[in-house]
Amino acid sequence: MQSFRTELELVNHSGKALVEKDIIDLDKKIREFRDGKINDEKFRSLRLARGVYGQRQQGVQMIRIKLPFGKISTKQLLRIADISDEYSNGNLHLTTRQDIQIHHVSLDRTPELWAKLEQDDITLREACGNTVRNITASAEAGIDPNEPFDVSPYAHALFSYFLRKPFGQELGRKIKIAFSNNDKDTAVTYIHDIGFIPKLNEAGERGFKILIGGGLGAQPFLAQTAHEFLPENQLVPFVEATIRVFDRHGERVSRHKARIKYLIHKIGVTEFLKLVDEEQKAVLNKTYLIDLNAVKFSIPVNSVKKEEAVVSNRLEYDNWVSTNTFEQKQSGFYGVYIKVLLGNISSATARKLVKIINAYASSEDVRLTINQGILLKFVTKDALPYLFNELSKLKLATPGFDSVADITACPGTDTCNLAISNSTNITVELERVIYAEFPDLIHNHDIKIKISGCMNSCGQHGLAHIGFHGSSFKVGTNVVPALQVLLGGGTLGDGKGRIAEKVIKVASKRGPDVLRTLFNDFEKNAKAGEYFHSYYDKQGKDYFYQLLKPLGDNSTLKETDYFDWGSDEKFATAIGVGECAGVIIDLVSTLFFEAEEKLAWSAEAFDNGQFGDSIYYTYASFISGAKALLLDKQVHVNTHHTLIADFDKHFVETELIKLQTSFKELVLQINKNEPSKEFAETYFAESQSFLNQVKTFRETKVLESK
């Protein structure tokens, strides 16, 4: 505890009062949870919003470190390596959302860990839970010769603006946002809740094509176009209005139907955008100027010797230069990709890598990529052979970045509660097959292979040309670890993409033979220069089903097929409770407590001059108070919108609760008024009066029942 307080003093000394409050609140809530004062479901929701995620292994947590658009400095990377050694197992896991995760952390030590991270401006806030998740972006942003402009400042602006915003804390589900830096759509905006692609209009003004309603998971949806061109100063107002509409109208009971994609599918994109327009009056800023200098970089001074470097393997070096480097738009400099197997890098290797980066690349602006790799910036041509030699010593100079041989995979059954079968050990085996048997494919960037441990697509199998997700099937009394094979997905560009189709399920141990069969068939029958997409469309899904059908024949299973990759025990499914979305709290007393707490936050925000935030906390108090009475009456609702209507029906129209207007008119003043001081004050007083009345009603009812 002394160490925790010391770290807090350091954070507080740097003037981060909000951060200090977050950390102290987490520490307090952990102790209340340990003392039985907070139920498990409520505590789960709270810790998820602070980046603390339950693991498959009992008693330990996964900590997700939020790195906006994947940007990290070498100083921050050193800090995370030290944290992993002190609190975890010395491994850093790079994710498809440009975060870093560390595993096997004691819950009680998470506040202390967070305080230490914040000393180098690293946050856990809203890395998990029903919040605005880490905002991703093309790693090449800022140095890509093909980009209209650098999207990094825009991603940074959205991250900064929406962090801790009250309307983004307790959503029905998470919000995922991505920025691609050109029309190639390398950030795959088409599978995000909100996606941005940079555009210049005829006058040369900056703006973005806006995509909404995309998502993968068990039921994938392609995003739809909201705007072909939205001026840059409208980005923040549009996103705020979108989130507020989702908060009010989105599903809140069935977590499998609670993403924006389902709401848009239900009411249509036109109606959804109409609600967004209606919400504009209530947003905090009608326009928002982006600080284009917020993301700074400096060109490093490389410590390159005058004599020419000698590379030990010229062929491997040439392959590495061909597949892992590109010329930046800044003349004389190169971007260099580092392929990281499974996205796992040890803390010891990370420290050695930091020394190499400091010597040959930009130490201020390293980017994590969405395929679990690393991008170094501002490497001179003369430095490339030196860099290759140094990376080779760490086994980080493997050629084939983002090629067929660079397979994306989630942690699967290694740590995840929802995973069904292994996704990591099989990835190692599949990459081995490609490098050993199909070495020319390291130059092929047109086919992407992705693997998830379950259907939820954390490994993004749904957008892969060749995708796999963990599964199982029974043969007699035995359970066989399996892979669902999906084909034909991928990125088309400019916000368009394809969702992979399920073709066949095979035993996991037959995964390598699936690849061999597909590659041999493609090599034999595809026309010269033909892309996999066109070949798949030409042949059709049934062709590939028949091609792979012999591998799905369960009558020919071997004894080894009953063992998952990396396991010496016969397979058995063991799926836990997922935490990708927080659990809804349905206890009446807890709801009243939340209503009071939100009014207190509203008053605090008002005193700090944050009138927009104050208004939204007041709105949240209305909702919690009304939900408490509806729940007590056994009326279950799945959106704020239906909650408001049902409260009128069951309590106002029956005059059990007496209001001067309908509850709908009272509550929905929130999007009929500007976020002014006067409205914030009036709205707060009305909510306080409402809460007092519903609490008195509840207390009277309890007394009468005794």
Short-list 156, 122, 2, CA closest to 51: 122
Q: Which residue has the tokens 């009014």?
A: 599
Let me know: does 659 contact 625? Beta carbons within 8 Å. no
How confident is the model over 169-189, as pLDDT tens digits?
Answer: 889 899 999 999 999 999 999
Cα→Cα distances 581→46, 333, 388, Å: 11, 42, 42
Range of weakest confidence among 255-259, 497-501, 640-644: 255-259
Short-list 629, 639, 618, 619, CA closest to 588: 629
How confident is the model at residue 583, as a pLDDT?
Answer: 36
Short-list 591, 584, 614, CA closest to 694: 591
Confidence of residue 4 (pLDDT cuts 50, 70, 90): low
User: How big is the chain, counted in residues?
Assistant: 706
How confident is the model over 590-623, as pLDDT tens digits?
Answer: 788 889 989 999 999 999 999 999 999 999 999 9
Let me know: does 244 contact 282? Beta carbons within 8 Å. yes
Range of weakest confidence among 34-48, 151-165, 248-262, 547-561: 34-48
CA distance 428 to 288: 46
How confident is the model at residue 26, as a pLDDT?
Answer: 81
- State the architecture of 588-705 in CATH terms: Up-down Bundle (1.20)
| DSSP strand pairing (61-65 vs 100-105) | antiparallel
pLDDT at 14 over 50: no
pTM of the model: 0.89
DSSP summary character for residue 585: P
What integer is the mean pLDDT of 225-249?
97
Instruction: Tell me the torsion sign for CA atoms 659, 665, 667, 672.
Output: negative
How confident is the model at residue 567, as a pLDDT?
Answer: 85
pLDDT at 147 over 80: yes
DSSP summary character for residue 66: B
Q: CB-based contacts of 217: which residues, under 8 Å, 6+ apart?
A: 259, 455, 456, 457, 462
Pairwise pLDDT comparison (440 vs 413), residue with the higher score:
440
Q: CB-based contacts of 473: which residues, under 8 Å, 6+ apart?
A: 479, 480, 482, 505, 554
How confident is the model at residue 2, as a pLDDT?
Answer: 45
DSSP summary character for residue 649: I
How confident is the model at residue 581, as a pLDDT?
Answer: 40
Range of weakest confidence among 31-35, 88-92, 695-699: 31-35
CA distance 184 to 190: 12
pLDDT at 44 over 80: no
Query: Token pair for residue 191?
Result: 């599978």
Instruction: State in words which class domain 408-562 has.
Output: alpha beta
Show me where the domains of the chain are located.
Answer: 2-118, 136-282, 314-393, 408-562, 588-705
Q: CB-based contacts of 584: which residues, under 8 Å, 6+ apart?
A: 41, 252, 253
Lay out the sheet containing 71-72: strands in order across.
Answer: 71-72, 366-368, 374-380, 333-338, 325-327
CA distance 20 to 115: 8
Give whichever of 71-75, 450-454, 566-570 has the largest mean pLDDT: 71-75
Q: What's CA 22's distance to the chain center, in Å?
A: 21
How confident is the model at residue 639, as a pLDDT?
Answer: 94
Answer whether 136-282 and 408-562 agree in fold: yes
Q: In CATH, what number does 136-282 get?
A: 3.30.413.10
Query: Which stretches within 144-208 are classed as H helix?
Result: 152-162
Query: Token pair for residue 335?
Result: 């971007």
Q: Answer yes or no: CATH 3.40.50.10800 is held by domain 2-118.
A: no
| DSSP strand pairing (366-368 vs 194-200) | unpaired
pLDDT at 17 over 70: no
Give whichever of 255-259, 328-332, 409-413, 583-587 has the largest mean pLDDT: 328-332
CATH topology for 314-393 is Alpha-Beta Plaits (3.30.70)
